[in-house]
Chain A
Amino acid sequence: MALSFLDREHTVAKPGYSRWLIPPAALAIHLCIGQAYATSVYKNALVAHFESSLTAIGVIFSIAIVMLGLSAAVMGTWVERAGPRAAMFTSACFWASGFLIGALGIATSQLWLVYLGYGFVGGIGLGIGYISPVSTLIKWFPDRPGLATGMAIMGFGGGALVASPLSRQLMAFYDSGYDPSDSTSVASGGAVTSLFVTLGIAYFLVMMLGVFTVRVPPPGWAPAGFDAAAVAAKPMVSAANVSAANAIRTPQFWFLWTVLFCNVTAGIGILEQAAPMIQDFFRDGGTSSVAPTTAAGFVAFLSLFNMAGRFVWSSTSDYIGRKPTYIMYLGVGMVLYVLLATVGHASTAIFVLVAAVILSFYGGGFATIPAYLRDLFGTFQVGAIHGRLLTAWSAAGIAGPLIINGFLDAQGTPGELVAADYRPALFTMVGVLALGFVANALVRPVAAQFHESPGRSDAFVEGKV
């Protein structure tokens, strides 16, 4: 069959295949799907083109994130069985098709087609793409799973860093009347259509690099000098395997679900509100001392820390352990939120530094969770388990903005808020982090009754069940 090259058995690495080809394969996927975080670049252009509201256009992103969580949860077991190449190829098809259908929707002024294309179809590509390299990376890097998944998931943060300026430049190329340096300038619908077509084709091609580069290690492969027994002897690291179906029956899965939900909810609280927040914190007599361009610089600064945290903290977790790493994210995070609420208004340097570290923990929380799952549930179906856990992200994507916007709406009107108005929301986030801290403290090794027999997990990996 023409597509048989996608099968798992055709992706088994030959002896000598460098495992350092796998992280760029994973990055090729995550850098492309990370564009999902750069939708604000053309949001105003779509509002003007469809003569619609920000809320109606924001629904496109919301559908995509909900579909990310749902498709990762539903398709996780298939991703494990079919292998990373088939999963990456499927993701590329959905992601690129999402852009092309979305472009058709913009060109014909039918918003529902953009919902269907970028939101629904593209969202499926997001979910499958997000989990597609995770299990493979963990199997190639049993000695450094945090480093490996940190590199890939850093790519998701990096994708927005690439897509935002690139989209501005492309829209300026397609619409000579659009000035990317002027925040009030809006690109035409035709320019956004052309942008979607360009991104769809370009992302498909880059993702093919991942498709043709990725390999699964041969059965029994281990890096030179790797001592599996030494790794398994570490506290909170299991040598046993747990299926995805069994994992969701364990309390450990739901503790980690709560940990991820709380960490993401708290981070979104700042991310969602970053630009107006820094201006409100330094508002005196109705005027903010922070200019809009400075606020935009603050948002960019946070995105750098969000991306760096994914790599730095996840790699660090290989040395200090996953549970202590989340103790840091959640425990130090609580202290930082209290500092932000109480002394954040004292100086912009304190405010910026504290918020940046919080965002690095937010990114780190995403990147470290696959390695935590590997430690507890083994490598057998870690990608599928990760997919199910990502529903916490979808839930946090709803809860985080609801909490912060709910409190701020009750305190006053946008443009008139001051630092004190943020305190109820920030202290609520301290409570959210405390809940996550307790959930992390309750994590223990998975009971033996949920472990797979060695024969079954091997047969699954080889595609026999």
Chain B
Amino acid sequence: MGEQTPEQSSNQVPRLVVTWLVVTVPLAYGLFQTIRSVIPLFAG
């Protein structure tokens, strides 16, 4: 059994985008906040 056809794949693009956004947006927020708190380590 193969992976998927290009047609089937394109049908799932919106779902892929939404699903990945739900997990990457909070992760990006956490990364941003963490990098902000790392700055004092290199500022002094």
Contacts and interface: CB of A to CB of B under 8 A. Distances in A.
Given A24-B23, A164-B34, 10 more contacts: A16-B8, A21-B15, A27-B27, A28-B22, A161-B27, A166-B30, A209-B19, A222-B1, A294-B41, A297-B41
Interface string B2-39: 11110011011001100110110011011101110111
A200 interface: no
19 contacts: A20-B16, A21-B12, A24-B22, A155-B23, A161-B31, A161-B33, A162-B29, A164-B33, A165-B29, A165-B34, A294-B40, A294-B41, A297-B37, A297-B39, A297-B42, A300-B34, A300-B41, A304-B34, A304-B38
Contacts of B41: 294, 297-298, 300-301, 352
Contacts of B8: 15-16
Given A24-B20, A162-B29, A209-B19, A15 B38 contact: no
B19 to A, nearest CB: 4
B37 A296 contact: yes
Sort A-B residue pairs by CB-CB distance and give the 3 closest, nearest first.
A16-B8, A297-B41, A161-B30
A293 B33 contact: no
Interface string A280-303: 000000000001011011101101
Contact of A28 (B23, B39, B42): B23
A179 to B, nearest CB: 15
A233 interface: no
A158 B27 contact: yes
A16 B42 CA distance: 48
Contacts, number: 99
Interface in A290-330: 291, 293-294, 296-298, 300-301, 303-304
Contact of A18 (B1, B4, B37, B44): B4
B40 A296 contact: yes
Contact of A300 (B26, B38, B44): B38
Given A28-B23, A162-B27, A221 B1 contact: yes
B23 A304 contact: no
Contacts of A296: 37, 40
Name the prevailing secondary structure of the A interface residues: helix
Nearest to B13: A18
Contact of A165 (B1, B27, B33): B33
A337 B33 CA distance: 29
A296 B36 CA distance: 11
A173 interface: no
B30 to A, nearest CB: 3
B23 A27 contact: yes
Nearest to A158: B27
A17 B30 contact: no
B1 A17 contact: no
A304 B35 contact: yes
A293 B40 CA distance: 7
A25 interface: yes
B37 A300 contact: yes
Contacts of B38: 297, 300-301, 304
Contacts of B22: 24, 28, 206, 209
Interface string A201-229: 00000100100010000101111100000
Counting chain A CB atoms within 10 Å of each CB, the highest count among B12, B26, B35, B42 belongs to: B26
Contacts of B9: 16, 18
Given A222-B1, A291-B44, A18 B12 contact: yes
A31 interface: yes
B42 to A, nearest CB: 8
Contacts of A21: 12, 15-16, 19
Nearest to B23: A27
A294 B26 CA distance: 25
Contact of B1 (A15, A155, A301): A15
A162 B30 contact: yes
A49 interface: no
Interface string A10-23: 00000111111100
B19 A220 contact: no
Contacts of A303: 34
A158 B38 CA distance: 15
Contacts of B34: 161, 164-165, 300, 303-304
Given A16-B8, A31-B23, A291 B40 contact: yes
